[in-house]
Amino acid sequence: MKKLFATTLAGVALAATLAACGGSSSSSSTTASASSASTTATAPAQSNIVQTAVAAGQFKTLVSLVKQAGLAGALSGPGPLTVFAPTDAAFAAVPKATLAELAKNPAKLKAVLLYHVVKGDVTAAQVTKLKSAKTLEGGSVPIRVTSGKVYVGDAQVTKTNVMTSNGVIHVINRVLIPAS
C-alpha cells in the first residue's frame, strides 16, 4: 500500500511540478533520517522555495510570515531543504489569538515556521518510510501513513514533490505548532 501510494504521489507530483514550474528537478540524497534515494530528471527547477511558493498563489500568509521572521533568505539559499507548507486556508483555520501571539513574538514565530522545515531533499517516497523527521526548529515532527494518506503531525499532505531549485515542497492542510 505504501509503495503504491508513493508511486501514485510521485506521478501526480511530477505532473503538477511540470505544470507549475515548466520543468522538472533532480533531488539529491536526503540528510534527514530517511534512507537515501535520488530521482533523475532532465533539467533543474529555476525557482527556489520562496519564489515557487509566491508563484503558487496559495501560500500568501506563509510567505508573509517567512519574510516577517527574516527567513526568506534562508529559504531562498542553496539548501537543500524540505518544506511542509501550509496553505492560506490552513492559516485561516488557526485561531486569531494564536496568530496575534506569533506576530508579537518573533522568536516563537520563527520556531513555528522552522518546525515546517527539514534539512535535505525528502521526497514523498522517503516521507512514507519515516516515523518522524527532525526539523530546523530542533524538534521532531511525527509522520504516519493511515488509510493511504500521509500525515505530518496533525496535517494531511495534500500535494507532494513540488520540486524547486533548492529543495522540495509538500503541501499540508494544517499549520504545525511545536510543543512548547
For the chain, what is the domain count? 1
Q: Kindly state whether residue 56 falls inside one of the protein's structural domains.
A: yes
Compute the distance between CA of residue 98 and CA of residue 157 in angstroms, rounded to an integer: 22
Q: What is the pLDDT along the chain (180 residues), one digit of tens a residue?
A: 333 333 333 333 333 332 333 333 333 333 333 322 233 333 455 899 999 999 999 999 999 999 999 999 999 988 899 999 999 999 999 999 998 898 899 999 999 999 999 999 999 999 999 999 999 999 999 999 999 999 999 999 999 999 999 999 999 999 999 986
CA distances, 128 to each of 34, 54, 64 (Å):
9, 27, 30
Q: Kindly state whether residue 77 falls inside one of the protein's structural domains.
A: yes
Report how many helices (DSSP H) and strands (DSSP E) the chain contains, helices first.
8, 7
Compute the distance between CA of residue 112 and CA of residue 179 in angstroms, rounded to an integer: 10
Domain encompassing residue 155: 2-172
Compute the distance between CA of residue 168 and CA of residue 79 in angstroms, rounded to an integer: 10
Contact present, 161 and 38 (Cβ < 8 Å): no
pTM of the model: 0.75
Q: Kindly state whether residue 179 falls inside one of the protein's structural domains.
A: no
Alpha helices by DSSP H, listed for 22-56, are 49-56
Compute the distance between CA of residue 134 and CA of residue 11 in angstroms, rounded to an integer: 26
Q: Kindly state whether residue 178 falls inside one of the protein's structural domains.
A: no
